[in-house]
Amino acid sequence: MTEIDPYEYPIYPHAYLNRARALLMEGNAQSIFYAAFELRCFLECRQDQYLEAQREYARSVPNRWKIGAQGKALAGIFKSEKIQYVAWYVEDELIFDVYHIPVSDELRDRVEKLGTLLHSQKTWRDPGDEWWNETRKNLVETFELAWLCSRGMLLSPLFLHEGKTVGKFAISCDNDIREKIIAFMKIGSTGIMKVDYLEVLPEDWKSDLVV
């Protein structure tokens, strides 16, 4: 069994999200505050990841902790909140597909409001206070939005212009998908790329977080 270093602390979006989930599963008072911190870090990291992938199109790249300014910078590149779905086919066979899922205004607003949990609390609350349940419920709902956003492997939206793609092809994926993409992108490979815009994500996309 591989021993995990107690000071191992990954700082990529999914790592923040995984820690937020684990904390929410603990179901105690202190986990609520630490989960809020991890969700905040997820959003900062995710938006920064998107901006880095689209840096050549951004007028500026704000510091990652300025999540409102980051949101405005991203909106200057791709204003729509529609999900972009891109699929590649060879001889009518689907080779691989990816989603670009923008950070929604709702997710950003929710995370910004978590700021009240990141500082010392002015009010002591009894363990039976309904505030604890309401706050955890809000965190779980925020987690769900963050989890959906994390499912998008395409870090920069692609556009078609006169039969050619415009935009930087930047993805975050596992090795299996990476190998498929590398094989498809080899010189001489031909295929069809289809781009669709979705209002909503597939209905079966639900996290396994137990409320």
Mind listing the pLDDT tens digit for each residue in 100-158? 999 999 999 999 999 999 999 999 999 999 999 999 999 999 999 999 999 999 888 87
* Domain carrying residue 128: 13-198
What's the pLDDT score for residue 167?
62
**Residue 184 included in any domain:** yes
What's the pLDDT score for residue 156?
85
What's the pLDDT score for residue 192?
81
- Round to whole Å and give the CA distance between 117 and 82: 30
Query: Token pair of 137, please?
Result: 């419920």
Quick one: three-class SS letters along 179-191?
A: HHHHHHCCCCCCC
Contact between 49 and 172 (Cβ < 8 Å) = yes
What's the pLDDT score for residue 184?
66
**Residue 143 included in any domain:** yes
CB atoms within 10 A of CB 202: 12
What's the pLDDT score for residue 59?
72
**Residue 32 included in any domain:** yes
User: What are the backbone dihedrals phi and psi of residue 157, each rounded to the nearest 5 degrees, phi first?
Assistant: -65, 145
- Residue burial 136-162, b: 16+ Cβ < 10 Å; e: rest: bebbbebbbbbbbbbebbbbbbbeeee
SS3 171: strand
- Round to whole Å and give the CA distance between 100 and 54: 12
Partnered with residue 113 across adjacent β-strands are none
What's the pLDDT score for residue 22?
96
What's the pLDDT score for residue 88?
83
**Residue 1 included in any domain:** no
**Residue 109 included in any domain:** yes
Burial class (CB in 10 A: 0-12, 13-18, 19+), 73: buried
Which DSSP string corresponds to 37-66? HHHHHHHHHHHHHHHHHTGGG-S----TT-
**Residue 150 included in any domain:** yes
What's the pLDDT score for residue 35?
98
**Residue 116 included in any domain:** yes
Low-confidence ranges of the chain (pLDDT < 50): 211
pTM: 0.87
What's the pLDDT score for residue 121?
93
What's the pLDDT score for residue 109?
96
What's the pLDDT score for residue 114?
96
Q: Domain count for the chain, please give it.
A: 1
